[in-house]
Amino acid sequence: MKLNLFLLIYYILISKNILADRPSRNYKGLCISPFNTKDCSNYCIKETHKIGYCSKYRCWCRT
């Protein structure tokens, strides 16, 4: 029973893409559109020339 509960929770996290983009990336706010990487890059340029990108209407910074 505990294994089934664990698998259900794991499936929900993966299906909602909650765990994606989180490790070693910095969340910088919302994107107007998923293709609006220019504004997102402006947020990230102050952080040692990191690259900004949009994922699911969220702006993330990565090196």
36 contacts 54 by C-beta, under 8 angstroms: yes
The residue count of the chain comes to 63
**DSSP label at 32?**
S
Please give the chain's pLDDT, 63 residues, in tens: 677 887 777 766 555 555 454 444 555 666 665 555 566 777 777 666 677 777 776 777 776
Could you tell me the CA-to-CA distances from 2 to 5, 6, 8, 9, 53 in Å, in that order? Answer: 5, 6, 10, 11, 38
Full-model pTM: 0.39
Closest CA to 40 of 49, 26, 48, 29: 29
